[in-house]
């Protein structure tokens, strides 16, 4: 689930992450896709723009020196991952594909459950009067993602110096 990223409003997995799951080199995966490019329309797979790749590089700490990646990666949507099973025919590729698709489905269910819960709370709030206002505010606060606080960098003494 950690390999699934949100790029251009789509949930995707990058080619290197898929290759690692399949136990193949990224170049081999990309070559197999290029040999079957007609199976991968833009809603199945797209190449990241340089600015998107740079943004991911800064967020994840990917090396940009000689040992780093030299080409902008491909991003595969859920449908693209499913299509990979027809391109990579090893037993491991099929098993990994099944698990990746299941993960996408779990993620979609989780997101839809969250939206459904928000709608139910809103309907209940309209139905009941102000006496339950505190309860509804508490429920909304619990549904909010936790706020990340940055820890101060460096050493600090007890006296704040």
Residue-wise pLDDT tens digits, 89-142: 777 777 777 777 777 777 777 767 777 777 776 766 666 665 566 666 666 666
Average pLDDT of the segment spanning 71-88 = 84
Q: Where are the alpha helices (DSSP H) in the chain?
A: 15-22, 26-35, 50-60, 78-87, 91-127, 133-143
In a domain, 58, yes or no: yes
* Residue 118 in domain: no
CA pair distance 112, 114, nearest whole angstrom: 5
Residue 127 lies in a domain: no
Does this model's pTM top 0.75? My answer is: no
Residues of the domain holding 99: 5-109
Query: Domain count of the chain?
Result: 1
Mean pLDDT, range 36-54, rounded to an integer: 89
What is the Rg, in whole angstroms, of the alpha carbon atoms belonging to the chain? Answer: 22
Tell me if 45 is assigned to some domain: yes
- Report yes or no on 13 lying in a domain: yes
Share of the chain above pLDDT 90, in %: 11
Structural domain includes residue 158: no
In a domain, 47, yes or no: yes
Q: Is 42 helix (H, G, I), strand (E, B) or coil?
A: coil
């Amino acid at each position: 689930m950690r390999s699934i990223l949100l790029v251009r409003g789509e949930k995707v997995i990058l080619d290197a992450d898929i290759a690692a799951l399949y136990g193949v080199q990224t170049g081999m995966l990309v070559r197999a896709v290029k040999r079957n490019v007609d199976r991968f329309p833009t809603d199945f797979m797209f190449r990241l723009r340089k600015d998107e790749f740079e943004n991911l590089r800064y967020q994840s700490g990917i090396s940009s020196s000689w040992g780093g990646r030299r080409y902008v990666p491909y991003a595969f949507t859920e449908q693209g991952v499913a299509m990979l099973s027809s391109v990579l025919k090893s037993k491991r590729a099929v098993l990994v594909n099944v698990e990746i698709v299941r993960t996408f489905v779990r993620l979609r269910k989780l997101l839809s459950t969250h939206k459904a819960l928000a709608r139910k709370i809103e309907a209940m709030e309209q139905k009941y009067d102000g006496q339950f206002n505190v309860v509804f505010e508490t429920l909304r606060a619990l549904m909010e993602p936790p706020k990340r606080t940055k820890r101060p960098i460096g050493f600090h003494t007890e006296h704040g110096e």
